[in-house]
Structures are given as C-alpha cells and as structure tokens.
Structure 1
Amino acid sequence: MTSLAEVPQPKAELVDLIAHDIREGVYHPRERLIEVELCARYRTSRNAVRGALIELAALGLVEREANRGARVRPVSIDEAIESTEVRLSLQAMCAGRAATRVTDADRAELTALLEELRSSVEDGDRARTAAANSEISRVIRRISGHQTASRIIETLQSQVRINWYPYQLPDRRVDSMHEYERVVEAVIAGDEAGALEAAYRHRDNVLDALRGIRDATAASVD
C-alpha cells in the first residue's frame, strides 16, 4: 500500500506550495532544501520534489548544485534593485493599460481597496498595508489584461521579497499610500498618461529608498 507521504501531487501545485513557503520566510536565502524533509512536509514523493526543485530553479527561486542538492537562491542588493526596477516598470505599464480598459465594476473594486489601504495605514497595521498594496497592484494587472507582464512581475516579486529580509527597509507607508492613491485615481479616471506618470514616480521613489539601503550597507562595511 502506498503511504500518504508518497502520494504524488501535481507538479504545479507542489511548486506553488514551496514557492509560497519561500516567499513567507519558511525558508531563507542560502538555506538548503533537503529532499527528504520536503517530502515529509508536503507529503509527496522524492521524484515529485526533484521535479518541483527543477521548476523552482527555472523561476530563479532555487539554485541546484551538483552533488550538493538545492538551496534558496540568494540575491545581491544590486540584483534586487534591478529586479525592483524591472518589476515596477512593468507594473507602471500595466497601470497605463488598465486606465484604457477599466470598467465601472473595476472602479468600485479599486475604490474599496484604496479605502482599505488608507484604513490600514491609519491603524498602523503593517501586514494589512502590505496586503492592500499587493492587492491593488494585482487588480491593476488583472484589469490591464497583460498576462506576460503579470507572470514576470510575480516571479520578480517573490525573489525580491525573500532576499530583503536582512536589511532594514525604510518605513514608506504614508508616502507609498499617497503614491498608490495617485495611481488608482488616474486608472479610475481613465487617464493613461496620468497613471503612467504616477506609477513611474512611485517606482523612482522606491528605487531611491532601496539605493539608500545599499549605500548605507556599503558604508557600514567600509
């Protein structure tokens, strides 16, 4: 009889489960991913785990080394900044496109999300604020209908999120809220140029903050 721990799972589902745990900090950059432990955690076979690790390596979340297994791929500060630049540039493109495709139902959804963002910032709830920002971005991507950009953004977002944990990120909640407000308001108004401009301004401000972290880190080493 096949044990529950050996019941095969669809590869895509297993990839999603492991990727989710990497994003949520269950596994940290440079941490080794032991196949037997993954089999036990996800109750699946060794072959399924190996296939998932190959897929995760293709996504840039994991790196595999001959005779040493796999580990969560570390990303340098410079690479993380580059990834953020690409991701937010694509997100800006989606915002401009969304402004040309937005419907009344979309406007109502974005308005509700913006209220949730404001409420979370006012309450000082970091987790709610992060979730609201993420959902606003996701909805804008959905409205834009650009599936390729969405896939690239989600992959880069995962890589950046798991690799910034050692650094002290600046508290930009209020500034970021105002930047999101401008993007959402432009999308709701159907203002393509305004949505692009606001989204690019948000990108540039985030990049300035991250470069500040890089420079401060380099200075502390010196």
Structure 2
Amino acid sequence: MRESKTTTILNQLKKDINEGVYSPNEKLIENDLANRFETSRNTIRNVLSLLEKDNLVSIVPHKGAKVTALNTKDIINLLEVRAELEGYVFQKVTPLLSDDEIKKMSEIYKQMVENIEENNLQNHSGLNQSFHEVVYSKCDNTVAIGIIRDLKNQLSKYNFKTILIPGRKEATLIEHKNLLEAVKSRDGALASQRAKEHIFSVRDTLLDYNDYLNH
C-alpha cells in the first residue's frame, strides 16, 4: 500500500533530524518545507505536529517550530532511565538468547568494526540499533521496550554527532565487545552491568560535549 504524502514527508524529516541535516534549535520554516516537498503549508503543519508528539520538534505559538534541543538535565534524566531499563532487559533476555541470535549479534558487531575501521560512520547508528534490537525483540516486556525506544528516539538526533567526538568510536567498539562477551557467556548479571556501563559512557560523552551537540 502506497504511503500518504504526510507519511512520506514525516519519515523524511525524521531521518533528516536524526542524521543532523537539521540541527537542534534550528527553525523549521513552513514555507521552505512546503516548497521543498511541493505540498501545502497545511500538510507541513500536520507533519510538524506529529514530529512534536515524537519530541523531535517544539512548536511555539506565533513563533513556529524548531528542532528540539536537550539541556544537560534532560540528557542525564533520559540516559539514566535508559541505563536502568537496558540493564533490566539484558539481564532478563541474555539467558534466553539462541545460538543463532548471538551469532547475529556477533555478525553485526563485526560490521560495526569494519565500518569504523573504514571510517564509514554513516552506517554506525543503524548497526548499533540492530545490535540492541536482537535483544529487544526477545523481551516479552513490551512496556519496557516501548519506553527504551521512546528514550532513544528523543536522543537520536545526537547519534551521528556523538560518534564524531574524538575517542567515541573506539570507545563504542570496546563497550559493545564487552557486552557481546557477556551475552555469549549467557551471564545475565554481567550483561546487565555492561549494558549500563555502555549507556553511562554515552551519557558522559554527551554531557562533556553538550554545547557542541546543540549547534
């Protein structure tokens, strides 16, 4: 079934925001977007309202829309909640993973290494997502997974900039390697610890470079 014009524009703008085409705090001008997508301003308003529901855009009456930016407190809150939930999910799911699922995680990790070695950072965020999704898809607590995905969605626009920070691409490989080793050993407690360490490392990076990430 062919998707609607609104859905097409919505998905493209989500992609653009998440990949940094539009920066945090950047204004989204209705006329410019209407011209870009060859559609009406009313359609653009509907799309912007949907983006606001996803916390990707902030709309101020009489002033228009801009890409949502997170302050330091927001980042701490989002990532500390995510760390606890990731720890819970990895502890719950790790002992249940099949050999094929662990093999899939290993293959994704190998691709992450290859991409970073080749400095092909554009694909890193997607591979990172796929690595964690293997575990999420095995978890029967859909409430926890829904919250994690919402938290990740709010931070997604920072992902590409984060991997560009000096030392971050090397750190993320070490963190995922440690997490994968815990998963391979089927040690839920260790996987939980490693998952939390990974998210807290992301938190610390975002805090250290918060000014850079919001420009």
CA distance in 2, matches of 1:61, 1:109: 31
Residue type at the aligned position of 2:170: V
Q: Which amino acid aligns with 1:59?
A: D
Instruction: Say if 2:184 is the partner of 1:188.
Output: yes
Contact kept? 2:93, 2:138, Cα under 8 Å: yes
Alignment correspondent of 2:47: 52
2:121 alignment partner, one of 103, 126, 134: 126
The aligned counterpart of 2:134 is 139
Are residues 142 and 54 of structure 1, via their aligned partners in 2, closer, same or farther at CA, if it must alter by over 3 Å? same
Q: Tell me if 1:162 matches 2:157.
A: yes
Structure 1: state its 5+ residue gaps: 1-7, 218-222
Q: TM-score, normalised by structure 1?
A: 0.76
Aligned counterparts of 1:190 and 1:10: Cα–Cα separation in 2: 46
SS in 2 for 1:74: coil
SS of the residue aligned with 2:199? helix
Matches within 5 A, 1:191-210: 191-210=187-206
Q: Could you state the TM-score of these two structures normalised by the residue count of structure 2? A: 0.78
Q: Is the 2:182–2:188 contact (alpha carbons within 8 Å) kept by the matching residues of 1?
A: yes
Name the structure 2 match of 1:40.
Answer: 35
Q: Secondary structure at the match of 2:96?
A: coil
What is the one-letter code of the residue matched to 2:198?
H
CA distance 1:24–1:172, shift in 2 (3 Å): closer
Instruction: Quote how far apart the aligned CAs of 1:109 are.
Output: 0.7
Q: Which structure has the higher relative contact order (CA within 8 Å, separation 6+)?
A: 2
- State whether structure 2 residue 168 is matched by structure 1 residue 172: yes
Task: Please identify the structure whose Cα radius of gyration is greater.
Answer: 1
What per-residue deviation string (whole Å, max 9, x for no partner) do you get for residues 95-143 of structure 1?
Answer: 2232143123212211211222233344454345444323212322223
Q: Do residues 72 (structure 1) and 91 (structure 2) align?
A: no
Q: Percent identity at matched positions?
A: 26
- For residue 154 of structure 1, report the CA deviation from its aligned partner: 3.5
Structure 2 Cα separation of the partners of residues 39 and 190 of structure 1: 51
Q: Tell me whether 1:16 sits opposite 2:18 in the alignment.
A: no
Q: Give the stretch that moved more between structures: 192-201 or 11-20.
A: 11-20
2:56 is the counterpart of 1:87: no
Which AA in structure 2 matches 1:26? V
Check conservation: 1:80, 1:163, Cα contact below 8 A: no
State how many pairs are aligned. Answer: 207
The CA RMSD over aligned residues, in Å, is 2.9
Cα distance in 1, alignment partners of residues 186 and 83 from structure 2: 20
Structure 2 counterpart SS, 1:137: helix
- Whole-angstrom CA distance in 1 between matches of 2:42 and 2:93: 42
Letter matched to residue 38 of structure 1: L
Q: Using a 3 Å threshold, how does the CA distance of structure 1 residues 34 and 96 change in structure 2: closer, same or farther? A: same
Contact 1:99–1:190 (Cα < 8 Å) also in 2: yes
Q: Cα distance 1:96–1:212, how it changes in 2: closer, same or farther (>3 A)?
A: same
Which one-letter code corresponds to 1:120 in the other structure?
A: N
